[in-house]
Amino acid sequence: MHKKLFIPGPVEVLPDVLEKLSTPLIGHRTKEYSELHARVRAKLQELLYTKNKVFLSTSSGTGVMEACVRNCVSGKLLSLICGEFGERWYEIAKSNGKEADALRVDLGKAIRAERVRDALASGRYDAVALTHNETSTGVMNPLAEIGAVLQEFPDVVFMVDAVSSMGGARIEVDRWGVDVCLSSTQKGFGLPPGFAVFSVSEKTLNKAATVPNRGCYFDFLTFNEYDEKNQTPTTPSLPHIFALDYQLDKWFKEGMERRFERHIQMAQACRHWAKERGFALFPEAGYESVTLTTVDNTRGINVGALNTELGKRGFMISAGYGKLKDQTFRIAHTGDLTLYDLKELLGVIDEILGQGKA
């Protein structure tokens, strides 16, 4: 039986969207492809409220994080860390031989803009990396506020992993001063994994031109060069681009405001349910993610058993991530899932818990 996915990626994908993956192929150096490319880019710019370039990458989001580090860090990176995905930024920098400092907050807490200002005031950093929505702790960091601080330091490149927020939460790239905003497609986009998109500011392209050893596959300047021909540097995953083109049209038909509002409603319903059932929320109040809820398992239920029972009924949620594996469980409510879908899931969880099966 297919399990409806309420995990933080890959998410459930609607049948009509899945079907678009099977579109017959076209050459990636043709006029037909260039039209598709330009169309998708324009829609992504609209989604991100940006006039910046938006590039298409055949990789996961982690690949684009590596791209950021290789293209934007020549001095030292400030890595803002509130969970496992923040740690990833830091590890990527180190594994690429780049200097980096970590600014860590306790798990469950958000990164505060003031702390970022204090760190940048030292003048030690040429780039900052942030996880907008930390999937391990369920914290959504205050991107607009941190972006405002970054705008006080115009020589610093601001790179944001929006993997689990883009498409589910509003991100105003230009107004908030985000230099690189990246996401993969298997979360808020409601598409399968295997593809990533990212916006890049003019300032970032100028910076990249000064950074040696950017490599080939993830070189921002090569992306830019091909993008000017409405192409990608290497053969892209055409199935994902066909589906993305279709999916973005559906979004604009739903209305972006309504899409974000749907995410907020699902998040509120999930938080309300958790508290009503005697659980706590893991993230600090005021910084809970709108795309997933990380529940503090204060009742000590057996999450493995719960997921086994859910599986028999055609659903799947996630255990905690990394250090929080046993202490939390996670319910993603993003992509094309609706309040109805979520309430159905929560009803089934209630039934399983009520029967003492987890």
Considering only 122, 235, 308, 338, the residue that binds its own copies (CB under 8 A) is 235
Site string for its own copies, 275-294 (x = CB under 8 A): --------------------
Q: Are 150 and 174 in contact (CB under 8 A)?
A: no
The answer to whether residue 62 forms part of the interface with its own copies (CB under 8 A) is yes
User: The dihedral of CA 344, 271, 250, 11: what is its sign?
Assistant: negative
Which DSSP category does 193 fall into?
A: S
Task: Quote the least distance from Cβ 222 to its own copies, whole Å.
Answer: 9
Nearer to its own copies, 75 or 97 (CB): 97
The first and second tokens of residue 206, run together, are: 């100028």
Nearer to its own copies, 25 or 285 (CB): 25
Considering only 151, 234, 302, 338, the residue that binds its own copies (CB under 8 A) is 234
Residue 1 CB contacts under 8 Å (≥ 6 apart), including other chains: 314
Q: Are 218 and 47 in contact (CB under 8 A)?
A: no
Site string for its own copies, 177-216 (x = CB under 8 A): -------x-x-----xxxx----------------xxxxx
The answer to whether residue 59 forms part of the interface with its own copies (CB under 8 A) is yes
| Nearest by Cα to 34 from 228, 303, 278, 185 | 228
The answer to whether residue 330 forms part of the interface with its own copies (CB under 8 A) is no
Q: Which of residues 10-39 bind its own copies (CB under 8 A)?
A: 10-13, 15, 18-19, 21-28
Q: How far apart are CA 38 and CA 21, in angstroms?
A: 19
Considering only 38, 42, 97, 209, the residue that binds its own copies (CB under 8 A) is 97
Nearer to its own copies, 23 or 265 (CB): 23
| Residue in the block written with tokens 């995905």 | 85
Say whether 354 sits in a helix, a strand or coil: helix
Q: Are 194 and 185 in contact (CB under 8 A)?
A: yes
What single-letter amino acid sits at 121?
A: A
Q: Footprint of its own copies on this chain (CB under 8 A)?
A: 2-3, 5, 7, 9-13, 15, 18-19, 21-28, 58-63, 65-66, 70, 88, 91-92, 95-97, 184, 186, 192-195, 212-219, 233-240, 316
